[in-house]
A and B are shown apart, each in its own frame.
Chain A
Amino acid sequence: MTNTAISVENLSKSYRLGQIGTGTFAHDLNVWWARIRGKPNPMLRIGEADHGNRDGEEIWALRDINFTVKQGEVLGIIGKNGAGKSTLLKILSRVTAPTSGKIKIKGRIASLLEVGTGFHPEMTGRENVYLNGAIMGMTRKEIDGNFDEIIDFSGVDQFIDTPVKRYSSGMYVRLAFAVAAHMNPEILVVDEVLAVGDAEFQQKCLGKMGEVAKEGRTVLFVSHNMGAIQSLCQNSLLIDEGLIVGTGKSEVIVTQYLGLISLESRTIFRTSNKDDHLWLEQIELKRNGVEPASIIQTGDHLTIHLVIKLSKPFTRLYVGVDLLDEWERLIFAFHSKEAGLIIYQEIYPELNVEIDIPQLFLLPGQFHFRVVVADRDGQLVEDVPRAVSFDIVPRDYSTHGYTFNNKHGQLFIPFRIKMTSGKNVWANEVEI
């Protein structure tokens, strides 16, 4: 029988507008005095009254949330920015109290809301390990017991007696994560920590999370990285506008989530600055030639549509679309010049670009496109660093349910594999 690790019952959280006060005591006194005399609030900005008095109006960040997490379950929590994920985690980690409802927890809970909490720059790595560990609820003894492992995992053993202000940001994060990863809590809450550190270290972190999960401990994982959610979590929870709108198998929930956001993130529109003669007006990704999408499976057919507007005629424009991963590493540059397109005719007033990729061999992860346009002298006339971003989700390659994911690199390369032993031959072809 599996036990429940977390039970969230009718949980709500509201933030009150106007109740925070004006910030200074004198102003609050003024407001209070005016209210007693029945006069209007003197601190209200003129014109604000037109929008209605929002004093005391409540914003519900979470509305009557109910769910349970079993011991040993790795639960993904997904949702758009501002959906209430962070509020939920803050209540879970007791940073703030709920407005109503309760959460019952079995076992020690540790959160990685942000690693390195309480690190003091003047103190050495060793001192910070102890301080950070203690802040997260470990006793001196527990840290002593794990100290060597922590240092091993972080890979900063040479500098352990150097003040952390001399550390590179990578070392800093590694040490901080190492402490957090060795807390051995029964329940681990992870929020977006994967956005920091280099790729190798991120693999380590994901590995550690998987390990924690395998040991039968409970993990709540909040991320915008759908690939990571799918490869780590059996089940997920989708939150939107403070409500749980879906629970169940991660594949299903991820699809539901991507349906929610696809309307919002597939295109960007820009209007020109006055002195711009050229600007990217629209970018759109199409999966398998038809559906606008921000979720793409490894090996899918992807089409990129760009609409570039020009306010004066240009000749010899070069258009480049760079494919970058979430750590801003260039994976490939789709450039018109190298593709042999040099246009001598005048271009005006619009340029449509279509880049067609028959099979996109990217492994799961978050990626984005950067759009650059250069004129005949090679000067950049337009540069949109994150024109559009998308997630690659895994595809099943074998009948056993195994799949290649972001643990296997970034690029998928189709291959054949054959193993022989005596008369036995096993072979398979990994293709899409």
Chain B
Amino acid sequence: MASTEQTKISLPADQYWDMIIEPQRRLFDLRLGELWKYRDLVMLFVRRDFVAVYKQTILGPIWYLIQPLLTTITFTVIFGNIAKLPTDGLPQFLFYMSGTVVWAYFADCLNKTSNTFVQNAGLFGKVYFPRLAVPVSILISNLIAFAIQFGFFILFVLYFAARGTALQPDWTWIAFSPVLLLMMAGLGLGLGIIVSSLTTKYRDLRFLVTFGVSLLMYATPVIYPVSSIPENFQWIILANPMTPIVEAFRYAFLGAGTVNPGHLLYSFSFMIVVVFLGSLIFNRVEQTFMDTV
């Protein structure tokens, strides 16, 4: 065996090396630069997600439209016509569709990113690439799905407007909507990677998430407006960071809802904390999770 002392002396300085593998990385070293180098991979993952989901289905991408449509119709029938929940004076169909489409983006991001480690264990175990590429690609492919569904929603808005329904889209808020989208993406990503990091140890969390997300929808103003909640209970609904986002979206495009910059600021800070925590945990788990999965 070569003696350690000799090797050390003859070795060049650190800057000679292209890469140094060490036990622990710094806490927040997310290496986004490296992720950027792998941007082609992210886009290929996005493509894979699309191809894989709708291969060998008859309707293919039309499913992107059927899902929100059927949900909206169901909600209109059950919550609108049978339960007769108020809708801030908006047409029921538009009210539910706006909620469903926006909620679906968040829910899908969270559900799918929360499976990152467990679902890709085989791949992660064989080759290195920035692990963040997987959740980021999920955000992007969901964004494309969201764009399709949202476009579909806008068609309905135009249709209702053409038939004389009074809608007051708020252009300032529409201009602000990309920020809302970013907040949702951040929340979905942050919570998702926290869960996915924890599922490497605790598989229960996966069930908790699928089921928790569908319950959380009822704590979000998807099927009812915030205004229909008695004043002294509103804080419960508003504690949910998704509430202000859904309401703001609805206000932007349909002109009815409870929007308060303070609430949005709360959601935004919540998102920042979640993303921060998520990166921290993800970064730690990423390096050694192969030993536990």
A residues within 8 Å of B by Cβ? Answer: 3-4, 7, 9-10, 15, 20-21, 23-26, 28, 66-68, 90-109, 111, 113-114, 117-118, 120, 122-123, 127, 130-131, 134-137, 139-140, 163, 244, 246-247
Is there contact, CB below 8 Å, between B55 and A122? yes
Known: A66-B1, A106-B18. A100 touches B51 (CB 8 A): no
Is there contact, CB below 8 Å, between A247 and B2? yes
What CA separation (Å) do A102 and B8 show in the bound complex?
Answer: 12
Against A, the Cβ 8 Å flags (1 = close, 0 = not) of B33-56 are: 000011011001101100110011
B11 nearest CB neighbor, chain A only: A7
Is there contact, CB below 8 Å, between A95 and B127? yes
B233 within 8 A of A: no
Provide the residues of chain B in CB contact with A67, threshold 8 Å: 1-2
Is there contact, CB below 8 Å, between A117 and B127? yes
What CA separation (Å) do A120 and B129 show in the bound complex?
Answer: 17
Provide the residues of chain B in CB contact with A103, threshold 8 Å: 20-21
B164 within 8 A of A: no
What CA separation (Å) do A417 and B280 show in the bound complex?
Answer: 70
B23 within 8 A of A: yes
Is there contact, CB below 8 Å, between B21 and A95? no
What CA separation (Å) do A111 and B128 show in the bound complex?
Answer: 9
Interface residues of B in 129-144 (CB under 8 A from A): 129
Known: A66-B4, A117-B123. A97 touches B51 (CB 8 A): no
Is there contact, CB below 8 Å, between B40 and A28? no
> Could you tell me the distance in whole angstroms from the C-beta of A58 to the nearest C-beta in chain B?
12
Is there contact, CB below 8 Å, between A23 and B203? yes
Q: Kindly name the residue among B12, B41, B55, B287 whose own CB sees the greatest number of chain A CB atoms within 10 A.
A: B41
A sample of 29 cross-chain residue pairs with beta-carbon separation below 8 angstroms, ordered by A number, consists of A7-B11, A9-B4, A20-B201, A21-B201, A23-B203, A24-B204, A66-B7, A67-B2, A68-B2, A90-B290, A92-B21, A95-B290, A96-B290, A96-B291, A104-B19, A106-B17, A109-B19, A114-B126, A118-B123, A118-B127, A122-B56, A127-B48, A127-B51, A134-B41, A134-B44, A135-B41, A135-B123, A137-B129, A139-B40
Given contacts A21-B202, A102-B23, A127-B51, 6 further A-B contacts (CB under 8 A): A9-B8, A25-B202, A95-B125, A96-B288, A122-B56, A134-B40
A101 nearest CB neighbor, chain B only: B23
> Could you tell me the distance in whole angstroms from the C-beta of A34 to the nearest C-beta in chain B?
17
A109 nearest CB neighbor, chain B only: B19
> Could you tell me the distance in whole angstroms from the C-beta of B188 to the nearest C-beta in chain A?
22
A-side binding surface: helix, strand, loop or mixed? mixed
A111 nearest CB neighbor, chain B only: B127
> Could you tell me the distance in whole angstroms from the C-beta of B276 to the nearest C-beta in chain A?
22
A103 nearest CB neighbor, chain B only: B21
Is there contact, CB below 8 Å, between B202 and A28? yes
Provide the residues of chain B in CB contact with A9, threshold 8 Å: 4, 7-8
Provide the residues of chain B in CB contact with A25, threshold 8 Å: 201-202, 204-205
Contact of B127 among A15, A106, A136 (CB under 8 A): A136
A246 nearest CB neighbor, chain B only: B1
Known: A137-B129, A247-B1. A97 touches B21 (CB 8 A): yes
Known: A105-B17, A113-B127. A97 touches B48 (CB 8 A): no
B29 within 8 A of A: no
> Could you tell me the distance in whole angstroms from the C-beta of A145 to the nearest C-beta in chain B?
13
Is there contact, CB below 8 Å, between A134 and B21? no
B292 within 8 A of A: yes
What CA separation (Å) do A137 and B133 show in the bound complex?
Answer: 12
Interface residues of B in 190-229 (CB under 8 A from A): 201-205
> Could you tell me the distance in whole angstroms from the C-beta of B45 to the nearest C-beta in chain A?
8
B124 within 8 A of A: yes
> Could you tell me the distance in whole angstroms from the C-beta of A172 to the nearest C-beta in chain B?
15
Provide the residues of chain A in CB contact with B7, threshold 8 Å: 7, 9, 66, 68
A165 nearest CB neighbor, chain B only: B55
Is there contact, CB below 8 Å, between B11 and A4? yes
What CA separation (Å) do A58 and B123 show in the bound complex?
Answer: 26
What CA separation (Å) do A114 and B7 show in the bound complex?
Answer: 31
Contact of B52 among A108, A117, A122 (CB under 8 A): A122
B231 within 8 A of A: no
Is there contact, CB below 8 Å, between A102 and B21? yes
What CA separation (Å) do A98 and B25 show in the bound complex?
Answer: 11
Is there contact, CB below 8 Å, between A15 and B291? yes
Is there contact, CB below 8 Å, between A108 and B18? yes
Is there contact, CB below 8 Å, between B18 and A135? no
Is there contact, CB below 8 Å, between A93 and B128? yes
> Could you tell me the distance in whole angstroms from the C-beta of A55 to the nearest C-beta in chain B?
15
What CA separation (Å) do A93 and B201 show in the bound complex?
Answer: 23
What CA separation (Å) do A67 and B287 show in the bound complex?
Answer: 23
Is there contact, CB below 8 Å, between A106 and B40? no
What CA separation (Å) do A135 and B123 show in the bound complex?
Answer: 9
What CA separation (Å) do A123 and B53 show in the bound complex?
Answer: 11
What CA separation (Å) do A139 and B128 show in the bound complex?
Answer: 15
> Could you tell me the distance in whole angstroms from the C-beta of B132 to the nearest C-beta in chain A?
14
Is there contact, CB below 8 Å, between A135 and B129? yes
Return the 9 tightest CB-CB contacts between A and B, nearest first: A94-B128, A134-B41, A25-B202, A97-B287, A103-B21, A104-B17, A122-B55, A140-B40, A105-B19
Provide the residues of chain B in CB contact with A68, threshold 8 Å: 2, 7, 11
Is there contact, CB below 8 Å, between A104 and B287? no
> Could you tell me the distance in whole angstroms from the C-beta of A184 to the nearest C-beta in chain B?
15
B24 within 8 A of A: yes
> Could you tell me the distance in whole angstroms from the C-beta of B58 to the nearest C-beta in chain A?
15
A107 nearest CB neighbor, chain B only: B18
Q: Kindly name the residue among A3, A21, A66, A137 whose own CB sees the greatest number of chain B CB atoms within 10 A.
A: A137
Contact of A127 among B23, B47, B203, B287 (CB under 8 A): B47
Is there contact, CB below 8 Å, between A10 and B288? no
What CA separation (Å) do A204 and B41 show in the bound complex?
Answer: 28
Provide the residues of chain B in CB contact with A163, threshold 8 Å: 55
> Could you tell me the distance in whole angstroms from the C-beta of A216 to the nearest C-beta in chain B?
17
Contact of B128 among A10, A20, A95, A120 (CB under 8 A): A95
Is there contact, CB below 8 Å, between A105 and B129? no
What CA separation (Å) do A404 and B125 show in the bound complex?
Answer: 38
Provide the residues of chain B in CB contact with A26, threshold 8 Å: 204
Provide the residues of chain A in CB contact with B47, threshold 8 Å: 127
Provide the residues of chain A in CB contact with B37, threshold 8 Å: 139
> Could you tell me the distance in whole angstroms from the C-beta of B21 to the nearest C-beta in chain A?
4
A24 nearest CB neighbor, chain B only: B204
What CA separation (Å) do A387 and B192 show in the bound complex?
Answer: 51
What CA separation (Å) do A400 and B125 show in the bound complex?
Answer: 44
> Could you tell me the distance in whole angstroms from the C-beta of B205 to the nearest C-beta in chain A?
7
